[in-house]
Structure 1
Amino acid sequence: MGRQVAAISSLLLCITCIVGFVLWWPLRGRTFIRALRRGSALDWYTALGLVALVPLVIMAITGMNYTWGRYVWPLIEGDTPSQPPRPRVTAPEGMEKLPIDVVVERALSLMPDGTWTGFQPSNSRSAAQAFLFSDGTNNNIRFFLDPYTGRELARDKGSSPDSRISRIRNKFARLHTFRPFGLLAATIWGMLPLGGTVLVATGAWISIKRWRRSERHETRKGSSTSSFT
């Protein structure tokens, strides 16, 4: 349920960003030129929105991949899947699933020199997935683990068919976290979307100021009218 909420929120965020950009972008070039000459086309609020727009959209799209990717990619790829399906698991009688942190530790022990990029818990009948990046092969490695025993069931070494769709799919995890590009790049990438939070807060503040200004203007107008009469 939580993953579905996160995916729907990412979808709404992506739509909001795109619609907001379309509404902001001038319909005519002269409008933008006039605003640029007045100095209002790229004020701090607009500039921050433009800088944060691309990371927000990319993170929203790649974030949805973790929840809906297993349904969407097979439809796009058709008969040439770029990744193997998740193995199915059968719950042993009287056994419960291991805690997630235990499964994560097992996955990390399989590739100690790898860079951790993500994890997907198992659902009712599928294996858990751990995503690590290998600096040696420059590939995203995917481990399939039994959620009841922590045993490795299979692994995908990233050697998918050489097609445009498979290359795009293999880069999705990298674009979401930027971890394979280094700690500095991942930190900057993670801080850029914070501009969205700033925009929401400052946008609400600007709107409240405008509403108050309009109310004061109406009050003064009413007072002047009554005094005149």
Structure 2
Amino acid sequence: MIWAIGDLHFDSTGEKPMDVFGSKWENHEEKIISHWKEVVASDDLVLLPGDISWALKLKESEEDLKKIDSLPGKKIISKGNHDYWWSSLSKLKAMELSTIEFLHNNSYVYKDVGIYGTRGWISKDTQGFNEKDETIYLRELNRLKNSLESNKEVSKKIVMIHYPPFNQDLVPNEFAEVMSEYGVDICIYGHLHSEGHKFVVEGVIGGVEYRCVSSDYVDFKLQEIII
């Protein structure tokens, strides 16, 4: 089985309590871990599309990543906007986590399903979008293409992306267009919290099924991804 949940926002230091965003976030880490242990089997796959840990440096992220590593299932992690600890793929692999793989210009195959992804970026119609944002946006778009190009010999495709692949007016943007072009079956994304849930877009668009799996949006419960 394949499961997904985004925006774990684990914090081994205790310096970034998420309940500042509302009482719903109280003990959110315990809620996620409890449900995880209930539903995930050792041979299942868990997709984690970004905002994994509040750590600022790779060394500081070890406790959170090892906690995830110890949970059931194989995990695929892609980058979120708050994953400041993220480093080069070689340094991430050097951590020697036994059940975690990182997506960065690459892909992963689970049975006959290809797993692809990147962080994404804010949409071009976001207020204040500037030349620097344009550079990052295009770089992330290219990383998505690189990921999808890295393995085409699969029967099904899932993309995990942190930012919603939609404009502020909820119209699919260039990230969504690339997914349709490459025949992606399912896209999971996160990033949206509390009031941001009004920007959630789900359902089949351009042949791609979109699912928001931001942890507070799914009540801190891992979502089964049926493909």
What's the TM-score once normalised by structure 1's chain length? 0.22
Higher strand share: 2
Higher relative helix content:
1
Q: With structure 2 as the length reference, what TM-score do the two structures score?
A: 0.22
Higher gyration radius (CA) = 1
Higher relative contact order, chain-length normalized (CA < 8 Å, sep 6+): 2
